[in-house]
Amino acid sequence: MTEPILTVAGVSKTYDSGTVALQPTDLAINRGEIFALLGPNGAGKTTLINIICGIVTPSSGTITVDGHDAIREMRQARRRIGLVPQELHVDMFETVLATVTFSRRLFGRSGHSDYIEQVLRDLSLWDKRKAKIMELSGGMKRRVLIAKALAHEPEILFLDEPTAGVDVALRRDMWKLVHKLRAGGTTIILTTHYIEEAEEMADRVGVINQGKLLLVDDKDALMQKLGKREMDITLSEPMADIPAALSEWDVSLAEDGRRLRYVFDATAERTGIPSLLRKLADLGIGFKDLETSKSSLEDIFVDLVADKVAA
């Protein structure tokens, strides 16, 4: 196993207001992976990213970026990082090309025009390079933020909510670009509210809620957990016990035996639903209604927290 490119050890943040935005957190990011930090509003995602990028001072802990301490060796650490923030902070009167070139020079890199041209082309911004930022659409401005973050050829790219409020075309371009960057060896860390986004893009996923990193897992393993669905079968007659013949399905009784609840994996090739329904018919168990529920992100968090407590 190679050394992680980024290590977060015991990092926490309590803002001056007293808000505990991040509890002590440990996290290691592998070189070349796409890591998604998944969590609802206010979970602490931006706080963690901003600490790593040197924008917010942590209350405790250390961060090592490619062997450099992010506080003591801030410059070396920071030049390895590109950050695409949620909000736009650019000079509206500058041209696209000037803004992006300026970002490159900030990190002591010479104006390597071939590289900048490629970045602008990848983001469909090349034709707009002479336009002033103020003349661009919202989506184009988002693209400029990405170009700026990439301008100094960072090894690690942070994308804070990259697709919040963007249209389908930009989202597709962004995903394509992320995969291309990863193929070129860039490590990518993104924050998102959307399970679909984590599913589409990430190799590994960290779930964060209320300032606590609840778990870090391979995407596939997590998606299995996230793919859990429930089907509620409202029975014609209440049932006192579950018949032994149903033992091969993960069923339980709810509402005083009036409902049979079946938990299944929606991502599996076979959900087991048709065979369960056939078995109920064979057993002469009638039902009035069937309802499946898709677990929301919130349910998943509740599940995960409950799992942690039980573990």
Beta pairing partners, 62: 9
Give the shortest CB-180-to-ligand ATP separation in angstroms: 26
Query: Of the two residues 14 and 234, which places its CB atom closer to ligand ATP in the complex?
Result: 14
- Size, binding site for ligand ATP by CB under 6 A: 12
| Residue 276 burial (10 A CB sphere; 0-12, 13-18, 19+) | buried
Report the residue number, 120 or 222, with the smaller CB distance to ligand ATP. Answer: 222
Burial pattern 28-39, b for ≥16 Cβ within 10 A else e, equals ebbebebbbbbb
How many angstroms separate the CA atoms of 166 and 95, rounded?
22
| For ligand ATP, the closer CB: 45 or 128 | 45
**Binders in 43-102 for ligand ATP, by CB under 6 A:** 43-47
Measured from the CB atom, the residue of 25 and 101 that comes closer to ligand ATP is 25
Residue 165 binds ligand ATP (CB under 6 A): no
Query: Residue 187 interacts with ligand ATP (CB under 6 A)?
Result: no
Place of tokens 């250390």: 62
Q: With CB under 6 A as the contact rule, which of the stretches 42-50, 72-80, 104-112, 225-233 interacts with ligand ATP?
A: 42-50
Q: Do residues 192 and 37 lie in contact, with contact meaning Cβ atoms separated by under 8 Å? A: yes
Residue 209, interface with ligand ATP (CB under 6 A)? no
- The least CB distance from residue 37 to ligand ATP, in Å, is 8
Q: Work out how close the CB of 158 gets to ligand ATP at its nearest, in angstroms, rounded to a whole number.
A: 12
Task: Give me the least distance between CB of 26 and ligand ATP, in Å please.
Answer: 17
From candidates 3, 10, 15, 307, binder to ligand ATP by CB under 6 A: 15
Task: Work out which of 3, 10, 26, 42 binds ligand ATP, going by CB under 6 A.
Answer: 42
Nearer to ligand ATP, 20 or 239 (CB): 20
Provide the minimum distance between the beta carbon of 212 and ligand ATP in the complex, in angstroms, as a whole number. 11
Q: Which is nearer to ligand ATP, 19 or 252 (CB)?
A: 19
Instruction: Name 20's bridge partners.
Output: 14
Residues that bind ligand ATP (CB under 6 A): 15, 17, 19, 21, 39, 41-47
